[in-house]
Structure 1
């Protein structure tokens, strides 16, 4: 009996032990805790607060993933990505950098990660900015173009019934405004020796029928490009353009227009909201927005200012990084912040809540998105842009004629492209 009791107790203990082992084995493994580092640009359409708020929401949904965000000025962003050496997982890239970054080997390809249904719902200009040689290297995120902003009250005072549709009309309207002493310098541009100048030249040249690069080869001294630069030079010579324009960036343009010292300005989407903000502007309720003027040769084209989120090539957590990128590029996020930047998703432009945020802007953007041009998608664009800025400013200050300036740039561009 004693022996039987021992056997029963032993059996019970063994069963309990095995049950305990089985229980431990079936417990789901806790997700590995990781930290992602994301690099953004200051004033990139979406505010830092909006990005941080969305990041916090992502972390709440994914408690095993922490995200550290870094914000730098646009001028520092490109170089910071190129020399990051694994410091970042998600990086914000500008449209003209894609080709250069792919050649430098700093981005992961994500062609297979974006579904066909999503591709069809994304604006072509936004998607193409993230592509190089038919492969995708990021998710479009910030959908942005430049528009023509105008002061409605000034145009009414001058007897001008509608905003200009061509560059000739812009000059004619500006002359009326100046002659009637409504505003001393009707036009203001962001023509500082910076990327802002390359952006404006790209779209003005396109409206004259010009392209800087065709089939990967520079074509800078074509007549259409010369005509575009001649227009820019003339707008300075006539005294219709604010003489400080060659020193201005977009924020300077916004400040001048918002203070009521300009009738016309080209700027990105964000200015529409800020120029109508009583805390930021003296022209609230007087701000009009229209498509970029064109010529008899081509409709008014606007430069693609879109930016996207990419996975850095050296990221140790690419899948988690892509999950974070998808969260920020989601329709929910873009719908919530449609007032800060227009969505990349076509379907959201029919969403009543999105349209309600800014009916006038949405209406104009639909028309403008039909005429978008990219800055040259070549690995050597950065060098070309730097040379272009110097060239254009020489013409603006009448140090060289547009033809001479662009002939010299063509030779320089051939040299750059051949390296």
Structure 2
């Protein structure tokens, strides 16, 4: 090959190189960059873990590279709602907690019914009903559930056996009886309380009220729809405290304390999300690894056949800001992430799967001892209360009265009356 080059050849080569460079720039420019605003756990479940990078096939198919913006829960919600309030936002998809989707917030997001009709989500009804319903506001679907934390009843099997109890409780009454019997000093010399509950979350008194067919606030925003059921629930909690089956420090007990007490063998029962199973049985942290198990929270034996025990669930959903651009790409992302295959792979990466069918998949259920129990609980689960603007204040007020009843400073009847009087004015018109 000659070392010299004619002027024409040089010009031709330069033009070809320029064309190649231009094509490269054009191809690069055509790569889409969808912006997703979420918690870091959502990104992790989609990109790392046993199932690998779940979202990569979608990126490859759509010639896209996702730009992730991750924040902790409260800052994330504040940022997302601010972005959705602007004239336009660069974010294509945002992740929303179920108890934040008020009617006012819902108006900031794109209704998804028409998009779902045009391009359906695979077997949408397979997503747990309680999660789907929490994202229907004013009759419109505004979010697609993607992650959940459903509450179960954890128990320390070793402590039960030590106390001569052969099986966990089937009814709330049996739970109370066992919790009292398990308020003792174990063979290791550890003082044990029958049950550990945090006092700063509505989850726990709501679960006890639901065990009798009651609730705090129903879907129609009625405060304490069944006063008698709520009184019975608070009476059980007050009785447990009086018997010493709840810690003396109940008023200052927080969520993380529950995990610690269960790991240390200081409590026999706790109400926690099923997802805590691995943490509670961690060999490096737990005194009874493999022996802390979970069941559905039991209803009262007086709960008639027409009522179910509805565990409390908290969930996240994917939503499209109404002021975002390229909603078609946004919906494509949501449809892919909500598919059965992606839901399974995210579960293998550590996500709480929103589809009940996922719990029957061997590649997931095989590594999850409580899979069958959690699936049954999820199918019936509902949020602690519906979303509304004064929800945080209502929960705080509710917990003040609950604590007075549990500590014996008010009767359950007086506390329930006060809950209704104080919370009712906070309800949406």
> Shorter-chain TM-score: which interval?
0.7 to 0.9
Relative to 1, partners in 2 of residues 1:405 and 1:49: Cα closer, same or farther, differing over 3 Å? farther
Q: Secondary structure at the match of 2:123?
A: helix
Q: Secondary structure at the match of 1:373?
A: coil
Give me the whole-angstrom Cα distance separating, in 1, the residues matched to 2:61 and 2:352. Answer: 25
1:384 deviation in Å?
Answer: 2.3
Relative to 1, partners in 2 of residues 1:190 and 1:37: Cα closer, same or farther, differing over 3 Å? farther
What is the aligned length? 388
Match of 1:16 in 2: none
8 Å CA contact 2:38, 2:68 repeated in 1: no
8 Å CA contact 1:127, 1:139 repeated in 2: yes
Give me the whole-angstrom Cα distance separating, in 2, the residues matched to 1:388 and 1:316. Answer: 41
Q: Secondary structure at the match of 1:217?
A: coil
Relative to 1, partners in 2 of residues 1:245 and 1:41: Cα closer, same or farther, differing over 3 Å? farther
Give me the whole-angstrom Cα distance separating, in 1, the residues matched to 2:382 and 2:404. Answer: 24
**Unaligned stretches of 5+ residues in structure 1:** 1-23
**What whole-Å deviation, never above 9, does each CA across 1:292-341 have from its counterpart, x for those lacking one?**
02102335431122221111233233332333333333333332242523
Match of 1:375 in 2: 384
1:263 deviation in Å?
Answer: 1.1
Q: Secondary structure at the match of 2:101?
A: helix
Match of 1:304 in 2: 313
Q: Secondary structure at the match of 1:143?
A: strand
Matches within 5 A, 1:3-402: 32-41=30-39, 50=48, 53-54=53-54, 58-72=58-72, 74-84=73-83, 85=85, 86=89, 88-102=91-105, 105-114=107-116, 115=120, 118-179=123-184, 181=186, 183-192=191-200, 197-214=201-218, 215-219=220-224, 222-298=227-303, 299-339=308-348, 340-358=350-368, 360-380=369-389, 381-402=391-412
- Of 153-162 and 389-398, more deviation after overlay is shown by 389-398
Give me the whole-angstrom Cα distance separating, in 1, the residues matched to 2:134 and 2:360. Answer: 23
8 Å CA contact 1:186, 1:241 repeated in 2: yes
Q: Secondary structure at the match of 1:227?
A: helix
Q: Secondary structure at the match of 2:102?
A: helix
8 Å CA contact 1:275, 1:281 repeated in 2: yes
Match of 2:414 in 1: 404
Moved over 6 A (4+): 28-31
Give me the whole-angstrom Cα distance separating, in 2, the residues matched to 1:89 and 1:389. Answer: 37
Give me the whole-angstrom Cα distance separating, in 1, the residues matched to 2:144 and 2:203. Answer: 22
8 Å CA contact 1:220, 1:410 repeated in 2: no
TM-score (norm 2): 0.79
Relative to 1, partners in 2 of residues 1:96 and 1:356: Cα closer, same or farther, differing over 3 Å? same
1:76 deviation in Å?
Answer: 4.0
Relative to 1, partners in 2 of residues 1:414 and 1:257: Cα closer, same or farther, differing over 3 Å? same
- Of 57-66 and 313-322, more deviation after overlay is shown by 57-66
- Of 311-320 and 30-39, more deviation after overlay is shown by 30-39
Q: Secondary structure at the match of 1:365?
A: helix
Give me the whole-angstrom Cα distance separating, in 2, the residues matched to 1:34 and 1:159. Answer: 63
8 Å CA contact 2:47, 2:55 repeated in 1: no
TM-score (norm 1): 0.81
Give me the whole-angstrom Cα distance separating, in 2, the residues matched to 1:106 and 1:167. Answer: 42
**Unaligned stretches of 5+ residues in structure 2:** 1-21
1:37 deviation in Å?
Answer: 3.6
Relative to 1, partners in 2 of residues 1:282 and 1:42: Cα closer, same or farther, differing over 3 Å? farther
How big is the alpha-carbon RMSD for the aligned residues of Structure 1 and Structure 2? 3.2
